[in-house]
Amino acid sequence: MSDATDLEKRGGPSSWQPPELIQTAPIFVWPPQPKGLLKALFGFPGYLWPWNVLYSATALLTWLFLTPSFARMDRLAVGWIAIILLRNLALIVLVASVWHLRLYVQRAQGTRYKYNGRWLSTSSSHFLFHNQVLDNVFWTIVSAVPIWTAYEVLTLWAQASGTIRLVSWQAHPGYCLLLMLLIPLIHEIHFYILHRLLHWAPLYRLVHSLHHKNVNPGPWSGLAMHPIEHMLYLSGVFLLWIIPSHPLHVLFYLQWVVFLPSQGHCGFGRVVLGKETTLNTDNYFHYLHHKYFEVNYGDQLIPLDDWFGTFHDGSDKAQETMNRRVLQRSISKAARN
């Protein structure tokens, strides 16, 4: 992990951090806080708005207009698989490019609200082609898109062929809606467990260190992973082989986990939309993971990091706790050797 630390300074000129400390969602707070819970679920920004509504709408439009006929999918065939591959490629290029164009090409707001005041590396031997963006684009297109497509194709084929159970929205609307609402929570549990595993030293060196080259991440960094990590990261969709689901759930799950990293790694806490209007990207939690490596393995919906002692809220106290934990582990390791 020290190698990754050397890639970029942990701060930069004009580094910015939110004035408020990170708060986990009040879902598991005791005693219950009904008012806070309702605000977290239905407020703006909140659990539903804007991102989950946006990504579920994107999945619905994809299913209705950009997906081959479901009747064709009971047999694996090059024709409909190629359509999905090209569609997925176009979608991720569009999503990542929207963030990248505004924030890094146009530099529409300069370094305002940028966590690390430095721009992305264009001359580092740590990245393919010595260029961080080109490196990130390479791993996204060459590895992430084919693996994403393969998982989507296999799951849709399994549903269409009757290999796994298919649920109808017409017959079970309440269940289908509830599953849509739960998918981000299901992913968070899967992601936390996987992420802790990827920080196991052998797997980190072999696999996850590629992603952590992006100490100062940008929109294309989100899916800049080793192919093994792509296979593990996207494997959560196989939970929908166990949980009865509809193709819309499959599209929503995969698009959510593929599109959200561009936002989550954009490097800016807020996007300036107007003279006095900003949109909170809600990604400081994960930025701290890229900055310090050993904190914030999950997300903010379920306080798994808090429960397992890896939560960093951006405060000096959390920093001291992390430093003390790292020091104790180093002492223990030295004693064993």
* Residue 9, pLDDT score: 41
Burial class (CB in 10 A: 0-12, 13-18, 19+), 178: exposed
Total residues found in the chain within this entry? 337
> ∠31-33-39 over CA atoms, to 5°?
160
CB 122 within 8 A of CB 116: no
In this predicted model, what pLDDT tens digit does every residue of 72-82 receive, in sequence order? Answer: 999 999 999 99
**CB within 8 Å of 316: residues ≥ 6 apart:** none
β partners of residue 271: 279
Residue 12's region, left for phi above 0, alpha for psi from -120 to 50, else beta, is beta
* Residue 31, pLDDT score: 80
Q: List, for the chain, all residue ranges whose pLDDT scores fall below the cut of 70.
A: 1-14
* Residue 282, pLDDT score: 87
In this predicted model, what pLDDT tens digit does every residue of 88-143 receive, in sequence order? Answer: 999 999 999 999 999 999 999 999 999 999 999 999 999 999 999 999 999 999 99
Q: Which two tokens stand for residue 310?
A: 């890896």
User: Which pTM value belongs to this model?
Assistant: 0.92
What's the CA gap between 159 and 157, in Å, rounded? Answer: 5
CB 246 within 8 A of CB 166: yes
Rounded alpha-carbon distances, angstroms, from residue 9 to 24, 115, 308: 28, 12, 28
Q: Which two tokens stand for residue 318?
A: 């959390």
Query: What is the DSSP-derived secondary structure letter of residue 236?
Result: G
* Residue 40, pLDDT score: 85
* Residue 6, pLDDT score: 37
